């Protein structure tokens, strides 16, 4: 079967009208002053599209092209040229609809199960030294932005540390990861944070909120120890990186801003899961030390009272809403407070 086409020789821009046909694995091109045969494998064949011409490039330079796409496609099929399965998918609306469905399902599955599993595996192989280094740089960064040295007297710090060590002492020996407790005065109000590598920061404002009650503070620290125990710091980092990469692949070529949205939503989801895990661990530690999980409820009440006070008209509003929800591991200010209070109340009975 012959097809009318245009030939460019690759050396000049002059167009030559030609006829082309396929025979014995060769593409033959013939026209006025043009006669050549090119092995089929040395041709970069065009793919079928609804719009656009068909252009076949030769490896040694030069090309043939046709504006009549339908004629070309029929000619190629007749000549036995094989189409890539990808092209078949792209040109078939049923396959396309299937791809959309599959893609949505896949992204959801990756977000729900794939990333946490991958994070588990990566966290398991992360050496403690890496975690320590990460914790140190995070502490330095946090110190730089929101923290000042603690104003608490040394003996009160030692007292809180000792009380918590005693609470944790009821756990089986060797089952608890190493932890260090440091105190800081902060710009983020009452809070406690667990960093990768086992460092726990407690703010002076948290100690004041609890009126220095070491039982209440031990409850807070038990929750933070849950984060240390389950290595949430590295997990978060691994998950955020993986989610960011996935999101950038899917949405990045449109807008980097929009690509941030799934990352933030996914982070919120993982951070809620981490909070639940840490809460469950806190209950276990408190019960083993014969302390009531209801201590946490007292703490939530105090936090809420403080928040309500912050919103009264004679106080600036900026202080109340900004209790550091930007740190995923933060203790307070999560929207599902009610759910968590119910959890601790149930555990207390």
Partner 1 sequence: MTDISPAAPTVPAAMHHPVHVPSRFTKRMRIRFTGSGSEYFRIWIVNLLLTVVTLTLYLPWARARRLRYFMGNTLVGGQPLGFHGDPRKMFRGYLLVATFFALYSVAGKFSSTAGFIALLAVAALWPALFKSSLQFRLANTSWRGLRMGFSGSLGGAYRAMLPVFVPGLILVGAQSWGVDVAHPPQWYLTVSGVVGLSALLVSPWLYWNLKLYQHHHYTLGTLQTTFTASVGSFYRLSLKVLGLALLALVVPMALAIIAIAWWAPQGSWVPLLVSAVPLLMVLLMLVSIKPFAVSRLQNLVWSKTGSAELRFDSKLRFRSLLRLTVKNWLLIVLTLGLYWPFAAVAMTRLRLQAMVIKTRTDPNLLMAHVHATAVEAVGDAAGDFFGLDVGL
Helix (H, G, I), strand (E, B) or coil at 91: coil
Among 37, 39, 49, 301, binds partner 1 (CB under 8 A): 49
Q: Is 57 in the site for partner 1 (CB under 8 A)?
A: yes
Q: At what angle do helices 232-251 and 128-146 cross, to 10 degrees?
A: 80
- Cα angle for residues 116, 117, 122 (degrees, 5° grid): 95
Instruction: Give the whole-angstrom CA distance, residue 107 versus residue 105.
Output: 6
Instruction: Give the nearest distance from C-beta 302 to partner 1 in angstroms.
Output: 23
Strand, helix or coil for residue 329: coil
Count interface residues toward partner 1 (CB under 8 A).
56
**100 versus 308: smaller Cβ distance to partner 1:** 100
- Residue 113 has phi, psi (to 5 degrees) of -115, -40
**Least gap, CB of 309 to partner 1 (angstroms):** 15
- Does 73 bind partner 1 (CB under 8 A)? Our answer is no
86 makes contact with partner 1 (CB under 8 A): yes
Site for partner 1 (CB under 8 A): which residue of 63, 163, 260, 294? 63
How far apart are alpha carbons 81 and 22 in whole angstroms? 9
Cβ atoms 63, 56 nearer than 8 A: yes
Per this entry, what is the length of the chain? 349
x/- contact string, 156-175, with partner 1 (CB under 8 A)? --------------------
User: Where on the phi/psi map is residue 62: left (φ > 0), alpha (ψ -120 to 50), or beta?
Assistant: left
Please choose, from the candidates 111, 109, 108, the residue with its C-alpha nearest in 3D space to the C-alpha of residue 119. 111
**325 counts as binding partner 1 under rule CB under 8 A:** no
14 vs 173 by CB, closer to partner 1: 14
Distance in Å, CB of 11 to partner 1, minimum: 5
The residue to which tokens 């090309």 are assigned: 63
| Cα 262 to Cα 246: distance, rounded to the nearest angstrom | 10
Out of 30, 40, 91, 230, name the contact with partner 1 by CB under 8 A: 91
Least CB distance to partner 1 at residue 288 (A): 36
Q: Which of 318, 335, 338, 349 binds partner 1 (CB under 8 A)?
A: 318
Specify the residue, 104 or 158, whose C-beta has the smaller distance to partner 1: 104
Residue 31 as a binder of partner 1 (CB under 8 A): the answer is: no
The token duo for 12 is: 């000049």
- Name the residue among 62, 48, 83, 52 with its Cα closest to residue 20: 62
Q: Applying CB under 8 A, which of residues 23, 42, 74, 89 lies at the interface with partner 1? A: 89
The contact set with partner 1 (CB under 8 A) reads: 8-15, 17, 44, 46-47, 49-53, 55, 57, 61-63, 65, 86, 89-91, 93, 95-96, 99-100, 102-103, 106-107, 110, 133-134, 137, 143-144, 245-246, 249-254, 257-258, 313, 317-318, 321
């Amino acid at each position: 079967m012959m097809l009318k086409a245009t030939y460019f020789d690759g050396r000049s821009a002059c167009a030559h009208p030609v006829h082309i046909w396929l025979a014995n694995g060769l593409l033959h091109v013939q026209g006025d002053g043009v006669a050549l045969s090119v092995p089929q494998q040395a041709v970069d064949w065009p793919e079928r599209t609804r719009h656009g011409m068909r252009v076949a490039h030769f490896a040694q330079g030069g090309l043939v092209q046709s504006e009549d796409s339908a004629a070309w496609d029929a000619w190629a099929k007749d000549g036995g040229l094989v189409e890539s399965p990808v092209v078949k998918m792209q040109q078939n609306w049923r396959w396309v609809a299937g791809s959309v469905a599959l893609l949505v399902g896949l992204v959801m599955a990756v977000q729900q199960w794939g990333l946490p599993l991958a994070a588990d595996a990566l966290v398991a192989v992360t050496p403690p030294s890496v975690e320590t280094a990460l914790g140190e740089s995070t502490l330095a960064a946090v110190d730089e932005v929101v923290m000042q040295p603690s104003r608490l007297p040394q003996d009160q710090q030692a007292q809180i540390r000792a009380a918590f060590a005693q609470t944790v002492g009821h756990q089986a020996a060797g089952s608890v990861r190493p932890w260090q407790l440091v105190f800081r005065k902060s710009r983020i109000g009452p809070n406690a944070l667990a960093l990768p590598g086992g460092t726990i920061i407690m703010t002076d404002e948290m100690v004041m909120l609890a009126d220095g009650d070491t039982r209440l503070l031990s409850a807070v620290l038990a929750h933070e120890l849950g984060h240390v125990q389950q290595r949430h710091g590295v997990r978060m980092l691994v998950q955020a990186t993986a989610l960011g990469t996935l999101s950038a692949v899917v949405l990045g070529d449109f807008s980097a801003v929009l690509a941030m949205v799934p990352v933030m939503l996914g982070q919120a989801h993982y951070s809620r899961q981490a909070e639940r895990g840490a809460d469950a661990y806190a209950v276990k530690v408190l019960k083993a030390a014969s302390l009531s999980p209801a201590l946490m409820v007292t703490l939530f009440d105090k936090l809420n009272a403080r928040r309500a006070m912050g919103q009264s008209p004679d106080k600036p509003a900026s202080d109340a809403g900004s209790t550091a929800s930007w740190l995923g591991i933060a203790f307070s200010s999560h929207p599902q407070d009610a759910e968590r209070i119910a959890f601790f109340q149930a555990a207390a009975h």
